[in-house]
């Protein structure tokens, strides 16, 4: 399921049943909704979307669902979206804003459990604060000049900004758009110049380009960073676990001695 569905579940379960339109391991940016997704929306009370341009396919699905009673929570509504990047949830402090919006939307849809949603939100907020402090401590263990990453897609902008990691490059700048040979060569050059230690791929995308990049720049490749979707293993099965897993993965890759094949 999507990371957003995981955060939503933490707030509204067991009172509301959460269905993720985007399945585990699928890419939310180029998701193709199926007829059953329109049916799901037709029967739903509440739709939680990230907004900020992430789910470009969603408007048509909502129109198709013909559900005038559907309440929509836009998690990034009112937040300061930077560089048109919708991945705000990758910063746990922004995730707190998501939680507040989800809890408010759930309370309006199901007033009988309003207090339960508020309580779940408070509990989750505390966990998010704890997560934030923990990530900060872990990233601090990486020598400052080694805090550089090249990632597959732009999901890491807010995380990198919050924790002082320099994002040197993004391989797929727009969803579904492969970089040209020139852009790839440019990334190899950037990786060398900034002594980037690793490139980070994600399970929902083919690692082919990242492998090519890692080979050319002679650096390590990490193939399992999770962001838009949680994973199907317990250690990455929900948002909080996923963020810890990712952070440990990043710390390990950026502190390891250099050299893939050097």
- The radius of gyration of the chain from alpha carbons, rounded to an integer in Å, stands at 19
Q: Pick between residue 228 and residue 238 the one whose CB is nearest to Zn ion.
A: 228
Which positions from 115 through 154 interact with Zn ion, judged by CB under 5 A? none
Residues 6+ apart with CB under 8 A from 38: 61, 64, 65
Residues 6+ apart with CB under 8 A from 28: 2, 22, 50, 54, 55, 228, 229
Q: Pick between residue 37 and residue 228 the one whose CB is nearest to Zn ion.
A: 228
Nearest distance, CB of residue 120 and Zn ion, angstroms: 26
Q: Pick between residue 58 and residue 155 the one whose CB is nearest to Zn ion.
A: 155
Nearest distance, CB of residue 229 and Zn ion, angstroms: 9
21 binds Zn ion (CB under 5 A): no
- Of the candidate spans 16-24, 45-53, 71-79, 223-231, the one that interacts with Zn ion by CB under 5 A turns out to be 223-231
Q: Pick between residue 131 and residue 155 the one whose CB is nearest to Zn ion.
A: 155
Nearest distance, CB of residue 57 and Zn ion, angstroms: 13
Nearest distance, CB of residue 227 and Zn ion, angstroms: 6
How many Å apart are CA 213 and CA 220, to the nearest integer?
10
Which residue number places its CB atom closest to Zn ion? Answer: 228
Nearest distance, CB of residue 16 and Zn ion, angstroms: 25
155 binds Zn ion (CB under 5 A): yes
- Of the candidate spans 101-109, 140-148, 196-204, 226-234, the one that interacts with Zn ion by CB under 5 A turns out to be 226-234
Q: Pick between residue 135 and residue 225 the one whose CB is nearest to Zn ion.
A: 225
Query: Number of residues in contact with Zn ion, rule: CB under 5 A?
Result: 2
Nearest distance, CB of residue 29 and Zn ion, angstroms: 5
5 binds Zn ion (CB under 5 A): no
228 binds Zn ion (CB under 5 A): yes
- Of the candidate spans 15-23, 115-123, 221-229, 251-259, the one that interacts with Zn ion by CB under 5 A turns out to be 221-229
22 binds Zn ion (CB under 5 A): no
Buried b (16+ CB within 10 A) or exposed e, 20-45: bbbebebbbbebebeeebbebbeebe
Nearest distance, CB of residue 153 and Zn ion, angstroms: 5
Residues at the interface with Zn ion (CB under 5 A): 155, 228
């Amino acid at each position: 399921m999507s990371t957003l569905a995981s955060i939503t579940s933490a707030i509204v379960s067991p009172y509301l049943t959460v269905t993720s339109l985007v399945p585990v391991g699928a890419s939310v940016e180029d998701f193709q909704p199926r007829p059953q997704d329109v049916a799901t929306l037709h029967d739903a009370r509440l739709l939680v979307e990230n907004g900020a341009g992430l789910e470009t396919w969603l408007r048509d699905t909502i129109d198709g669902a013909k559900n005038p009673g559907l309440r929509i929570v836009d998690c990034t509504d009112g937040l300061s979206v930077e560089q048109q990047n919708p991945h705000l949830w990758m910063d746990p402090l922004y995730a707190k804003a998501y939680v507040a919006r989800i809890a408010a939307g759930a309370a309006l849809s199901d007033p009988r459990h309003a207090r339960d949603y508020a309580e779940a939100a408070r509990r989750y907020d505390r966990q998010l604060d704890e997560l934030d402090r923990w990530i900060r401590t872990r990233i601090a263990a990486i020598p400052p000049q080694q805090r550089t990453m090249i990632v597959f897609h732009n999901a890491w902008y807010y995380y990198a900004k919050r924790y002082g990691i320099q994002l040197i490059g993004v391989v797929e700048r727009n969803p579904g758009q492969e970089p040209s040979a020139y852009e790839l060569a440019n990334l190899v050059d950037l990786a060398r110049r900034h002594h980037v230690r690793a490139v980070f791929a994600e399970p929902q995308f083919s690692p082919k380009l990242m492998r090519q990049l890692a080979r050319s720049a002679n650096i390590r490749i990490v193939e399992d960073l999770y962001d838009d979707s949680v994973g199907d293993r317990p250690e990455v099965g929900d948002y909080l676990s996923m963020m810890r897993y990712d952070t440990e993965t990043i710390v390990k890759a950026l502190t390891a001695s250099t050299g893939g094949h050097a």
